[in-house]
Amino acid sequence: MAFPATRMRRLRATGLLRDMVRETELTPAHLVQPIFVELGTDSRTPIEAMPGIDRLSISHAVEEAGELQAAGVPAVLLFGLPAAKDDVGTGAYDDEGVVQLAVRALKEAHPELLVMTDVCLCAYTTHGHCGVVRPDGVIDNDVTLELLAETAISHARAGADAVAPSDMMDGRIGALRGSLDREDLKETPIVAYSAKYSSAFYGPFREAADSAPAFGDRRTYQMDPANSDEAVREAKLDAEEGADVLMVKPALPYLDVIARVKQETGMPVAAYNVSGEYAMIKAAAAAGHLDERAAVLEALTSIRRAGADIVITYHAKDAAAWLR
């Protein structure tokens, strides 16, 4: 009996036809590399759970960005490690803060590089929460919004091409959009972490960014992994408030959420393949349990297949080299 055409066996048999009908394309042009920037001259601090990813001084970040561009990765997402922390995260909105300095240096050295910045307070507060904590221990949503807006403005003024609020406070997209517009930063897009789950997969990041909460957890403001209708509602709300790109985070355990957000909003969607997802593949590969290159390319292709236009991933540089 002949093979049914639906199985595409005849197409797969000729490599060229298989390639021509492939439904999903993974190219470096869709990838964003997160970079942790620290103060100090000429420093590079390894992150134990994330082999291959270091915290970089600004000089090394500039060098890294050059290598990323040469590999075809068009964009970076910056996280900063400030000189000092306090209760209200002053370092986040300091015009001379680590991210602001890094943005200026990166844009000066690589004007074509797309520089996005993470907008949050957690790496800048002594308590490690994403917002200002009231004496009764509750996060003060509205006071936090003002500080996040100041942070976004100072990033954009430093030259950031897009700002990415990751705090999950209520009303933050509207607040940021309004403030950016008033400051004549109307052209700065907002890449909103819209569906950000309260996830165990952020573990290695909290070591990298030194942002583990000193008490409690982030469950009051991050989403319950059991919910996907909520993700769609959050995403639609962010779009109404002015988000230009909607993000789902983490990526691999939430491919269904990526697909729903894409289908139900029709907006540009980004997915964040987070630190724990990276650490799992690196650890298994280092132990000889799987083929790193094949696993990474399969994972990133699957995130694209689910509906992500943009994939933020610590594998970006390696994947770009493999895809060449």
Say how many CA atoms lie within 13 Å of 141 toward its Cβ: 9
Q: Hey, what are 110's tokens?
A: 């690589």
Catalytic residue from among 107, 196, 262, 282: 196
Q: Please give the Cα distance from 202 to 183 (Å, whole number).
A: 33
Nearer to ligand PBG, 59 or 61 (CB): 61
Nearer to ligand PBG, 109 or 283 (CB): 283
Nearer to ligand PBG, 105 or 123 (CB): 123
Q: Around Cβ 71, how many Cβ atoms within 10 Å?
A: 19
Q: What are the DSSP E strand ranges found in the chain?
A: 31-38, 44-46, 54-57, 75-81, 114-119, 162-165, 191-196, 245-249, 269-273, 310-313
Minimum distance from residue 15 beta carbon to ligand PBG (Å): 36
Q: Which residue is nearest to ligand PBG (CB)?
A: 205
Residues 184-203 that bind ligand PBG (CB under 6 A): 202
Residues 78-107 that bind ligand PBG (CB under 6 A): none
Catalytic site includes residue 236: no
Residue pair 261/238 in contact (Cβ under 8 Å)? The answer is: no
Residue pair 110/142 in contact (Cβ under 8 Å)? The answer is: no
Partner residues linked to 117 by β-bridges: 78, 163
Nearer to ligand PBG, 183 or 292 (CB): 292
Q: Please give the Cα distance from 79 to 246 (Å, whole number).
A: 19
Q: Around Cβ 53, how many Cβ atoms within 10 Å?
A: 23
- 118 belongs to the binding site for ligand PBG (CB under 6 A): yes
Nearer to ligand PBG, 42 or 82 (CB): 82
- Please give, one letter per residue, the 3-state secondary structure of 120-165: CCCCCECCCCCCCECCCCCECHHHHHHHHHHHHHHHHHHCCCEEEE
Minimum distance from residue 12 beta carbon to ligand PBG (Å): 35
Minimum distance from residue 34 beta carbon to ligand PBG (Å): 7
Nearer to ligand PBG, 122 or 185 (CB): 122
Residues 253-282 that bind ligand PBG (CB under 6 A): 274-275
Q: Please give the Cα distance from 188 to 160 (Å, whole number).
A: 8
Catalytic residue from among 85, 107, 249, 317: 249
- Please confirm whether the linkage preceding 82 is cis (ω < 30° from 0): no
Q: Provide the mask over 20-59, with x wherever binding to ligand PBG is found by CB under 6 A and - wherever it is not.
A: ----------------------------------------
- 122 belongs to the binding site for ligand PBG (CB under 6 A): yes
Taking phi over 0 as left and psi of -120 to 50 as alpha, with beta for the rest, 266 belongs to left
Minimum distance from residue 129 beta carbon to ligand PBG (Å): 9
- 166 belongs to the binding site for ligand PBG (CB under 6 A): yes
Q: Hey, what are 5's tokens?
A: 């055409």
Q: Please give the Cα distance from 169 to 276 (Å, whole number).
A: 23
Catalytic site includes residue 107: no
Q: Of these, 206, 236, 293, 305, which contacts ligand PBG (CB under 6 A)? A: 206
Catalytic sites, residue numbers: 196, 249
For binding to ligand PBG (CB under 6 A), which residues are involved?
A: 118, 120, 122, 130, 166-167, 202, 205-206, 218, 274-275
